Amino acid sequence: MIARLTGRVEQVEADRCVVNVGGVGYLVHASTRTLAALPLPPALAQVLVETHVREDAILLYGFADPAERDWFRLLTTVQGVGAKVGLSILSALAPRDLASAIAAGDRASLTRAQGVGARLAVRLITELRERIGAMPTAPGTAAPSGPPSGVEADALSALVNLGYRRPEAETAVARALARLGDGAGLESVIRDSLRELAQ
């Protein structure tokens, strides 16, 4: 089985890329997040790979980091989540956001992924809520734990007071903090979170 490819990126499309390793071009399906992380052709790149063997094809799914690959493996254990839907979910939600959405029971965030309807979102939350504690949320980080505090808690409280539902507010604040960094001020976090919620 192929677990990793290191070679030149020859082509990048909407949902896949071609990596040339020793003169052989490997077609690798990937999330938009992984494709965006790749260098421009013809630069060298390394892609983690999950290999799926079917009767009629050998399919390669690529990931920029181990966290995304581990989440792909977990997602595809859920009935109704094939490789295509798994990549769609990972394109819509980064591992940290995905963990937050499942923990908070945030169906709205999950249904933003193409191929995920309300019923499948409920199944994802039901089947994975107890399993996300051991999952990575980003390269080299552990899953979030404990209630929010400091700027995060204040921003969350402000958004809830403005009428936003708590799960949506939690996701927006988490994304804002991921973009701005832990040293961001309260006003910046609230402003960025509001932009996120407006999308």
Quick: pLDDT tens for 10-28. Answer: 999 989 999 999 999 999 9
pLDDT in tens, 26-83: 999 999 999 999 988 899 999 999 999 989 999 999 999 999 999 999 999 999 999 9
Percent of the chain whose pLDDT exceeds 70: 92
| Overall pTM > 0.85 | no
Q: What mean pLDDT is reported for the chain?
A: 86
CB 3, CB 48: distance < 8 Å: yes
Residue 146 pLDDT exceeds 70: no
At the topology level, CATH places domain 66-134 in DNA polymerase; domain 1 (1.10.150)
Listed in order, the ranges of the chain carrying CATH 2.40.50.140 are 4-63
* Average pLDDT, integer, range 90-114: 91
Q: Which pair of structure tokens corresponds to residue 173?
A: 């604040």
pLDDT in tens, 97-107: 899 899 889 99
Listed in order, the ranges of the chain carrying CATH 1.10.150.20 are 66-134
Quote the pLDDT of residue 58.
93
Quote the pLDDT of residue 158.
84
State the CATH class of domain 4-63: mainly beta
Q: Which pair of structure tokens corresponds to residue 87?
A: 């990549």
Quote the pLDDT of residue 138.
42
Quote the pLDDT of residue 182.
63
Report the candidate in 164, 182, 31, 177 with the shortest Cα–Cα distance to residue 93.
31
**CA atoms within a 13 Å half-sphere pointing along the CA-CB vector of 44:** 3
More confident residue, 46 or 148: 46
State the CATH class of domain 150-198: mainly alpha
Task: Compute the distance between CA of residue 106 and CA of residue 32 in angstroms, rounded to an integer.
Answer: 22
Residue 143 pLDDT exceeds 50: no
Task: Compute the distance between CA of residue 153 and CA of residue 96 in angstroms, rounded to an integer.
Answer: 17
Task: Compute the distance between CA of residue 57 and CA of residue 141 in angstroms, rounded to an integer.
Answer: 35
Between the two ends of the chain, the Cα-to-Cα distance in Å is: 40
Residue 91 pLDDT exceeds 50: yes
Q: Which pair of structure tokens corresponds to residue 124?
A: 């994802």
pLDDT in tens, 127-138: 998 888 778 764
Q: Which spans in the chain are helix H?
A: 32-37, 66-75, 83-92, 95-104, 107-110, 118-128, 150-161, 166-180, 186-198
Per-residue pLDDT band at 165 (split at 50, 70, 90) = confident
CA angle 123, 16, 50 (to 5 degrees): 60
Listed in order, the ranges of the chain carrying CATH 1.10.8.10 are 150-198
Quote the pLDDT of residue 142.
39
